[in-house]
Chains A and B, each alone.
Chain A
Amino acid sequence: MHGFALIVRRDLRLALRRKGDVLNVLVFFLVVASLFPLGVGPEPDQLRAMAAGVAWVAALLAAVISLPRLFAADLADGTLEQLLLSPQPLAVVVLAKIAAHWLCTGLPLALVAPLIGLQYGLPADALAILLASLLLGTPVLSLLGAAGAALTLGVRGAGALAGLLLLPLYVPALVFGAGAVTAAMSGLDPSAYLALLGALLAVSSLVGPWAACAALRIALD
């Protein structure tokens, strides 16, 4: 636990000293989501119907562009080597990196997403469900994303490759997440969708770090 807190603290401090990286992802998210009304026209009902999908797709894209940083910077300056050689279990190192990534990208994305919802005219209860679905779903993006980032570590065009690899894996999160909001707007109970998102979170918290550990060992061999 000591090692976990240590690495999370270091990564948060690094993010604080390079605020640009965090802000870029957030601004990207807001810009992508704000482009859709310009393309499809100002019809309020149409916009309301697509709000959840747009917010979720924008969140997926923002997560993907934030991922190359996850391990690449540590690889370049040699700290990844030291992290692997430290007495901390590799799974703890990877989980700490994932937690810090979520705190710097997933959490801020989820927190500003209601702004997008407002812009699209979502009612208050749907806004709450959008926030809840993203709070449950964005950790999935970081957990699976870590595996993608580790698998493409050191590869040319790693960012684009990680995107191609990950976006199909993100489909269930997108379907359940956007589905929860749509259900709430049609007066249905969204809790089934949220439960499925929770299950997805449980599965990816096993699979993602495990795959990332294996991939990191290979990358540094």
Chain B
Amino acid sequence: MLETSALACERGGQRLFSDLGFALAPGGLLRVHGANGAGKTTLLRILSGLTRPAAGSVRWHGKEVDDDYRAEMLFLGHAPALKAELTVIENLEFSAQLSGLKNSDCGKALQQLGIERLAGLPASYLSQGQQRRAALARLALAAHVPLWLLDEPFAALDDGAIGRVSALCAAHLAAGGMLVLTSHQDVPVAAPTTQTVELEG
């Protein structure tokens, strides 16, 4: 259960949002909407623990987020977090081991994103969309991680890949996972419960 109360955020002296409160229960999808610069990414970074809120708190299972929280959360930001010199599969293996993901079938994860042919290529050879897919392959290994925080996961993806990612998200939610999503496109994701947060900006 992820809860926030009276969350406020300031960036460069400007108040982006304030008094934001929501609760996300297992199976819950939270969509964060808002114009460019409204604070969607900042909200996600606050939820991940990277950025400290100007006011308010984020609680995980009733407790303020602490070090253990990081093992129960997967955050994928704007940058794909791929090392250009490493191959796609090496990148995925490293991030799976670093996060202590139990599922280590990286080959299958790439298959689920439709990029198994790219496994042995250095990440620098990949197109934008392919890099995105390689980053999102982590989702296929992280089914047991309860909370996913995804920043614009559908950006730069083609229709086929959007379908694959949305199916992974739906399966995660159906299994009792939680998902916070920022997106400009209205990609349908099947979820037991869906809430929306509108950031005014």
Contacts and interface: CB of A to CB of B under 8 A. Distances in A.
Q: Do A and B come from one complex?
A: yes
Interface of A: 2-3, 6-7, 10, 13-14, 17-18, 76-79, 81-89, 220-221
A124 B68 CA distance: 54
A221 B45 CA distance: 8
Given A13-B86, A85-B50, A86-B70, A6 B81 contact: no
B85 A82 contact: no
A78 B50 contact: no
Prevailing SS type, chain A contact patch: helix
Given A85-B70, A88-B98, A79 B81 contact: yes
Given A86-B100, A221-B50, 12 more contacts: A6-B94, A10-B94, A13-B86, A18-B85, A78-B78, A81-B81, A85-B70, A87-B67, A87-B100, A220-B51, A221-B51, A221-B52
Chain B: number of interface residues, binned into ranges: 20 to 34
Contacts of A10: 83, 86, 94
Interface of B: 48-52, 67-68, 70-71, 73, 75, 77-86, 90, 94-95, 97-100
A2 B96 CA distance: 13
Nearest to B52: A221
Given A85-B73, A86-B70, A89-B67, A78 B97 contact: no
Nearest to B72: A87
B128 to A, nearest CB: 13
Nearest to A220: B50
Contacts of A77: 79-84
B74 to A, nearest CB: 8
A13 B86 CA distance: 8
A82 B78 contact: no
A42 B97 CA distance: 56
Contacts of B50: 81, 84-85, 220-221
Contacts of A76: 79
Nearest to B94: A10
Nearest to A73: B83
A25 B147 CA distance: 43
A89 B95 CA distance: 15
A81 B95 CA distance: 12
A112 to B, nearest CB: 25
A77 B80 CA distance: 7
A87 B70 contact: yes
Contacts of B90: 13
Contacts of B75: 81-82, 85
16 contacts: A6-B97, A10-B86, A13-B85, A78-B79, A78-B81, A79-B82, A81-B79, A82-B99, A83-B98, A85-B49, A85-B50, A86-B100, A88-B98, A220-B51, A221-B51, A221-B52
